[in-house]
């Protein structure tokens, strides 16, 4: 048997997630225990795989010696992953709410839903204003400035002006 062939177990170990006292990887995240520069304590940063910035940074518990950080373990890591995912989900929900607004306007022809969808392009940001009837059929759509303020008054005015660009 030749000893020149690479050991398959050795290659697998290279790809294994790190699970050490101050760095723990798994479930799409890396937890790093870092020195808190603002005081004498420690912090933990949760970094989502592929992202440059932490999704969550929070205080970390001191160890028994009151000098070094408590080591990471599977239970603490799983709790941190759950918390980081909740922070990311709330951030996505907040961003969606900022970029997509919807109101209803009562007209003689029935209720009309008006959506404002903002596209935050770095070079050419814009928004679309779209009207839908009670059957969710699109009545009109126009491109507007990303700073357009959607309100019952602005939507009513747009409808009354024949859906012309405000």
Q: What is the pLDDT of residue 14?
A: 61
Q: Give the 3-state secondary structure of residue 41.
A: coil
DSSP 145: -
List of E strands, 3-80: 23-26, 29-35, 42-48, 56-60
Q: What is the pLDDT of residue 85?
A: 97
Instruction: Answer whether 62's CB lies under 8 Å from 100's CB.
Output: no
Instruction: Answer whether 154's CB lies under 8 Å from 105's CB.
Output: no
Residues 6+ apart with CB under 8 A from 44: 31, 32, 33, 34, 57, 58, 59, 60, 72, 80
For 13, 18, 25, 33, 87, the CA distances from 47, given in Å and listed in that order, are 22, 14, 9, 11, 12
Instruction: Answer whether 41's CB lies under 8 Å from 88's CB.
Output: no
Q: What is the pLDDT of residue 66?
A: 85
d(CA 133, CA 141) in angstroms, rounded, equals: 12
Which of these, 115, 87, 90, 112, lies nearest to 29 by C-alpha position?
87
For 43, 46, 81, 107, 142, the CA distances from 56, given in Å and listed in that order, are 10, 5, 9, 47, 39
* pLDDT digit string (tens) for the chain, length 166 residues: 444 544 444 444 566 789 999 999 999 999 999 998 777 789 999 999 999 999 999 999 998 898 899 999 999 999 999 999 999 999 999 999 999 999 999 999 899 999 999 999 999 999 999 999 999 999 999 999 999 999 999 999 999 999 999 9
Is pTM, for the whole model, over 0.85?
no
């Amino acid at each position: 048997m030749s000893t020149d062939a690479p050991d398959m177990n050795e290659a697998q170990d290279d790809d294994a997630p790190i699970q050490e006292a101050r760095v723990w990887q798994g479930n799409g995240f890396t937890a790093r225990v870092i020195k808190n520069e603002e005081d004498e304590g420690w912090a933990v940063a949760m970094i989502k795989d592929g992202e440059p910035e932490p999704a969550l940074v929070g205080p970390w518990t001191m160890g028994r010696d009151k000098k070094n950080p408590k080591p990471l373990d599977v239970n603490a890591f799983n709790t941190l992953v759950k918390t980081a995912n909740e922070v990311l989900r709330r951030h996505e929900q907040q961003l969606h709410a900022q970029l997509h607004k919807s109101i209803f306007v009562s007209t003689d022809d029935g209720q009309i839903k008006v959506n404002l969808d903002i596209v935050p392009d770095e070079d050419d940001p814009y928004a679309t204003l779209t009207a839908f009837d009670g059957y969710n059929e699109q009545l009109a759509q126009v491109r507007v400035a990303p700073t357009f303020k959607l309100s019952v008054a602005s939507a009513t005015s747009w409808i009354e002006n024949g859906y012309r660009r405000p």
